[in-house]
Amino acid sequence: MLSGITLTGIHEWEVPLGYVPDMRVSGRLFLSETLGEALEEGAARQLANVATLPGIIGHSFGMPDIHWGYGFPIGGVAAFSEDEGIISPGGVGFDINCGVRLIATPLTLGDLTDRTSIITELFKKIPTGVGSKGSLRFSGSALDELLGRGSAYVIEEGLGLPDDALLCEENGHMKDADPDLVSEKARKRGEPQCGTLGSGNHFLELQVVSKIHDPLTAQAFGITEGSICCMIHCGSRGLGHQVCTDHIRNMEKASKRYGIRLPDRQLACAPLTSSEGQNYFGAMAAAANYAWANRQIITHDLRTLFESLFRIDYNEMPLIYDVAHNIAKWEEHIVSGKTQRVCVHRKGATRAFGPGRAELPGKYRDTGQPVIIPGSMGTASFLLAGTETAMQKTFGSTCHGAGRVGSRKAAKKALRGSEVSADLKKQGIIVMAPSGDAIAEEAPSMYKPSEEVVRVVDEAGLSRIIATLMPLGVIKG
Amino acid sequence: MVNQMGIEELEHTADVRIRIRAESHEELFTLASSALFSILYTGDCRIERERELKVSGDNIEDLLWDFLSELLYISEVESFVVCETSVCFIGNDLYATIRGETFHPERHGGGREVKGISYSDLFIREMDSMICSEIIFDI
C-alpha cells in the first residue's frame, strides 16, 4: 500500500487529511492487500483531490476497482450538500450514464450448439465500433421526447416490454432532464447513434449462470443456475460526450467566478445552486436518458434476433435490471442522523441501494437492488444485491467492474488480438470485434481479477454476491 | 497506433496519453491532429475533401483543447477522416484547414472511439528549445 494510507477496517483504508493540500474530508478506499499493491499513486491523488471540493460530505470514496482516470478517479464516489455543494462534469465523465444491464432468457447451454454463428448474427445485428449508425434515427421532437423521457419513450414506440423502464435505476429516466439544455452539436452527434454499442470497453456478452450463491435472492431476481443471460454495457454515445465537452469550459469559468480552487482543471465545477450547475445537471440528465434509450434499443434488437434464432417469445426475455456507472443524482441519505438530500457523484461506481428503499421496484424492495458487475472478456461477471451497510458507509455505492490494471499501450505491445481471441476460443468463449487491437486492449490480463474486486465489496458489506455468470461469447466495438 | 516523429504514446491505465514535441505551435497543433486521427481510424487516408475551421481561446492550451474537440465533432458528424492539417494563428484565433476523405468502414474501421479531450494534465510548454505538450484522450 502507498505510504500514508492506513487500514481502518475490513478492507477499508483511510487517505488522511493532508494527503494533498486543502482536503476538507478524508478519503476512504475499499481494497484487499492484493488490490492495494496495484493502487496507482495517481488514483490515490485524484481521490484526495475530490476531497478538496466544496460541500463534500463524509469522505471521498474509492471502490476496489479504482484506477487512474481524469478529474475523479474511476471507481470514485462523492456526495455533496444541497446548499454548499458543487456538481462537476469531471465526477461523471464524458460517457454520461455509461451503464450495464442484464437480460434473462429461457435458454440453456444445450440451446447454444453453434455459438460462433450466434455471435456472428449478433455482430451483424448490433452496430459496433467507430462510425457505426443505428437503424433508427431520432431528431427534432422525437429526440426531445427521447431526451426527456428516456426508456419510457422508446418502449412506447414499440421497442420494449412495459416493465422494462421500471427495471432501470431511476425508472429509466431522470425527471430533471431538460432537452433544451442539450446543444445543437450534441443533438447532431446523437441523432444517428441511438441503438449502437460504441467502442473501448463496451460490449454485449452472452453468459451462463454458473453458480447461485443465494437461492432466495436469485429467485427474486429471476435467474436460475444454467440459464443463459445477456449483458449489455454502453452509454450515451457522442451526445453524452458532447454534453460533457460543452459544459467543462463553462464550469471552469464558473469555478473562477465562485472562487473555487481546483487542484485539477478536469474537476471544474459549479455550486449546485448556481445557474451553471443547474444547466449542467439538466443537460447531463437528458444525456443519461439517451443512454437508457440506447441500451433499450439494443435490448430490443437482441430480443427480436433471439425470437427468430431460437423460436422463443419476446416476453420470455425480461430485463433483470439496468444500472448507471457514470452519473450525478439527487438522493436522500442519512447524514449525522438526519435525512438529507445530497448530490451523489458516481464515476465508475454503481448504486447499491439496500432493502426498503422506495426507489426500488416492488419485487426488489425486500432484497436490495440488483447490482450488475461485469468481468473482463474472459472472466466471470457477478450479480450482487445492495445492502444496508452500503447505505451507511458509501451513500449506497459499490464497485462497477474489474477495473483496468494494464495500459492500452502495454496491451498492444504485449498481446496480439488474434492470439487473445484464440486463447479465449480454447476456453469456449467466442469474441468478435472490428479489429485485433480492440481485443488486445481489453484482454483479461489487462484487468484486475473480477473475483477479487467482488470478494472485497462482499466482505466489506457494500453488496452481497448472489450469482456468478461465466462468459460464452462477446461482441465488442 | 501513433509512431510519427514528434508523437510519443505514454503510459496511462484507462486512456491514451500522448506527448508531442514540435519546433513551433503550428507544428504542435498539426501533430496533435495526426495523433487524434491515428487513434480514431485505421488504414490509408486519401485527400478528396477539404474544410476550414476556426476556434478561439483565451490561451494556447484552451485553443488546443477547443481545436481537438472541434476536430472530434467534425469527424463524427461529417464522417470526415483527416490526413492533413495546416494551421495559422491570428490574435486569439486559430484558423485550420483539414484535408482527407469520407469515412469508409471497410478501409478506416477498427480504430478507437475518443469520447473527449481531457483537461487533466493538459499542458503546452517550452522544454529544451522545443515546444512540448501532453494530452489525454478519453477512450
A11 assigned to a ligand binding site: no
Q: How far is A263 from chain B (nearest CA, A)?
A: 10
Tell me whether residue A400 is one of the annotated catalytic residues.
yes
Cα R_g (chain A), whole angstroms: 21
Residue type, A124: K
In a domain, B5, yes or no: no
Contacts of B40 in chain A (CB under 8 A): 130
The pLDDT of residue A437 is 80
* Model pLDDT for residues A353-388, shown as the tens digit of each residue: 999 999 999 999 999 999 999 998 878 999 999 999
- Name the least confident of A178-182, A323-327, B103-107: B103-107
- Per DSSP, the three-state class of A346 is strand
Between chain A and chain B, the number of residue pairs with CB atoms below 8 A apart is 117
Residue A205 Cα to chain centre, angstroms:
15
SS3 A8: strand
Is 60 exceeded by the pLDDT of residue B3?
no
Residue B15: inside a domain: no
Task: Determine the residue among B115, B122, B136, B138 to mutate to test chain A binding: the one whose Cβ has the most chain A Cβ atoms within 10 Å.
Answer: B115
Cell reading at A342: 445530497
A83-to-A247, A260, A396 alpha-carbon distances in Å: 21, 15, 21
Is residue B116 in a domain?
Answer: yes
Q: Which run of H or E residues covers position A239?
A: helix A237-257
CA nearest neighbour of A294 among A333, A236, A207, A246: A236
Q: Considering CB atoms only, which of B11, B110, B136 is closest to A70?
A: B136
Report, at the CATH architecture level, how domain A6-405+447-476 is classified: Alpha-Beta Complex (3.90)
Q: Can you tell me the distance from the alpha carbon of A287 to that of A282, in angstroms, rounded to the nearest whole number?
A: 9
> Hey, are the CB atoms on A437 and B119 less than 8 Å from each other?
no
Which residue from A minimizes the CA distance to B61?
A: A265
Residue B13 included in any domain: no
pLDDT value at position B30?
97
Contact A199 B113 (CB under 8 A): yes
**Residue B4 clears pLDDT 70, i.e. is over it:** no
* Whole-angstrom distance, CA of residue A190 vs CA of residue A279: 19
The secondary structure of chain B as a DSSP string is: ---STTEEEEP-SSSEEEEEEESSHHHHHHHHHHHHHHHH--S-----EEEEEEEE-SSHHHHHHHHHHHHHHHHHHTTEEEEEEEEEEETTEEEEEEEEEE--HHHH-S-----EE--TT-EEEEETTEEEEEEEEE-
Q: With CB atoms and an 8 Å threshold, state whether B121 touches A70.
A: yes
CATH number at residue B30: 3.55.10.10
Please report whether residue B11 resides in a domain.
Answer: no
Calculate helix-pair angle for A275-310, A237-257, nearest 10 degrees: 170
Greatest CA separation for chain B: 42
A97 annotated among ligand-binding-site residues: no
> Is A171 a known ligand-binding residue?
no
CA distance A25 to chain B (A): 22
The pLDDT, as a whole number, for residue B2 is 44
- Segment A187-197 shows an average pLDDT of 97
Partners of B85 in the beta sheet? B98
Half-sphere exposure of A179 (CA within 13 A, CB side): 17
Global confidence as pTM: 0.96
Are residues A367 and A221 in contact, defined by beta-carbon separation less than 8 angstroms? yes
B59 part of contact set with chain A, CB < 8 Å: no
The pLDDT tens digits of the residues spanning B54-94 come to: 999 889 999 999 999 999 999 999 999 999 999 999 988 99
Residues in chain B within 8 Å Cβ distance of A198: 113
Among B13, B16, B116, select the one facing A94 at the smallest CB separation: B116
* Residue B62 located in a structural domain: yes
Counting the structural domains of chain B, the total is: 1
For residue B60, the enclosing domain spans 23-138
pLDDT tier, A19 (very low <50, low <70, confident <90, very high otherwise): very high
